[in-house]
Structures are given as C-alpha cells and as structure tokens.
A and B are shown apart, each in its own frame.
Chain A
C-alpha cells in the first residue's frame, strides 16, 4: 500500500532558526515528490518538485532532498521567518498515473 507520512504534525521554532521537515513514503519506486505550503483557507503553493532521478532541488532559502532507498525526503528551511508559518505538505506520485498521495502535513509556526 502506498502511503506518505509527515512527522511531526506541528513544529514551533524561534525566528532565524534553520529547520528540517520530514516526509516518508512506503514504496521507493516513486515518479516524483513535490513540496507545497498552504496558508489557512487558501490553495496550495508549489515550493519544489524533485524527480525520481534527482537527489535535491533548491529555491532560495529552501532545499529539498530525496533518498529513495530509505523512502525519505526532507525540506530544509534556512533562517526561518514569521512569514514561513504555514502548513507544509509533501505529495508523491507513483507510476506516472497522475495520482498524487499527500502526507497529512506539518504545521509550522515561526515565532518572532
């Protein structure tokens, strides 16, 4: 069964701290993995997509890594800011069938 897990469910850090969000998946034969952020009551904003052939992707203060053999991806956020407060979701596509499996998200609170 294909499942995506995100731990912890919630995280609170002081401003300026570097932090890591985790995403685990059960089947290593993924097609791609995508990280999103969602603000309350809003749609999802795409942050980074990692294809199965890639090990990491970077965008500004964000860096996402992928380790298929261990079934894990991490999202690293450098120098966190209060504006980074949101729920972060990862989604995995298996098989190229356009079916994306979402983790339940990590709610991040960055305290000023």
Chain B
C-alpha cells in the first residue's frame, strides 16, 4: 500500500476560523511533510517531521501549526488565515530520513479557500 490520505478534500474558511488538515500513511514511513502549492507553481516546503520530531520549519507564519501525534498521522492546524493562504496543501511521506532511497509519496491534497 503506497497511499497517503488527506482530509478534507476541500475546505472553505473565514479569516477568523480555526480548522485542521489531516494526513495519514500506513507505510511505516518515518518522515512526513507539509507542502503548499499555488496555481502553476511547484510545491513549497513548509514543515518536515522526522521520527515524529519537527526537523524543518521553512519560516512559516505561526498561523500554521503542525502536529505529529504518532508516526502515521500528521495534522496542520490553521488559525486566522489570510486570503493569500488559499492554495493546495499537500502532505507527503518518505521511508527513512537520511537514506538515499528516500522516495516521497504524496497525498491528493486539500484545496483550501480563505474568504
């Protein structure tokens, strides 16, 4: 099973709302990632968790708060977002941090619209 699942598929929220994105994988991967992708652009790395510890934070605003409750689950908590945060949010996982065979697998994404 090489599947990464993400919920919800679509999310519309106001600037004062609090919501969460969820990502799950059951491949035994030990690294998990959040990316943001704007239209016609490549994915931009936001956060990396390696062995359930935050290892990379790409200077993301604090209105985005990641959480990794266990090795299979990754959340992204959203609060007081701006309209420019509207994008496709992609979750990915990879097998073993630090190995050359560190193939990334992506989920289908959550399409977020901030009104």
Identify the A interface with B (CB < 8 A). Answer: 31-32, 34, 36, 41-46, 49, 51-53, 89, 91, 93, 96-100, 102-105
B60 touches A (CB below 8 Å): no
CB neighbors of A among B84-115 (8 A): 88, 90, 92, 94, 97-109, 111
CB neighbors of A among B39-81 (8 A): 41-43, 45, 48, 50, 55-56
Cα of A43 to Cα of B108 in the assembled complex, Å: 4
Q: Is B98 in contact with A51, judged by CB distance below 8 angstroms?
A: no
Q: What are 15 A-B interface contacts by the 8 Å CB criterion?
A: A31-B102, A34-B103, A41-B88, A42-B108, A43-B4, A43-B6, A43-B107, A45-B106, A91-B104, A97-B56, A98-B50, A98-B98, A99-B56, A102-B43, A104-B41
Minimum CB distance partner of B88 in chain A: A41
Partner of A46, one of B42, B43, B99, B103: B103
Q: Is B42 in contact with A93, judged by CB distance below 8 angstroms?
A: no
Q: Is A46 in contact with B88, judged by CB distance below 8 angstroms?
A: no
Main secondary structure, interface of B, reads: strand
The 9 A-B residue pairs with the shortest CB-CB distance in the complex, in nearest-first order: A102-B42, A44-B106, A51-B100, A43-B106, A43-B108, A49-B103, A96-B98, A43-B109, A98-B97
Q: Is A53 in contact with B105, judged by CB distance below 8 angstroms?
A: no
Cα of A93 to Cα of B92 in the assembled complex, Å: 14
Cα of A67 to Cα of B108 in the assembled complex, Å: 31
In the complex, what's the smallest C-beta–C-beta distance from B57 to chain A, in angstroms? 11
Q: Is A99 in contact with B45, judged by CB distance below 8 angstroms?
A: yes
Q: Is A32 in contact with B100, judged by CB distance below 8 angstroms?
A: yes
Question: Which residues does chain A contribute within 8 Å of B4, judged by CB atoms?
Answer: 43
Question: Which residues does chain A contribute within 8 Å of B55, judged by CB atoms?
Answer: 97-98
In the complex, what's the smallest C-beta–C-beta distance from A95 to chain B, in angstroms? 9
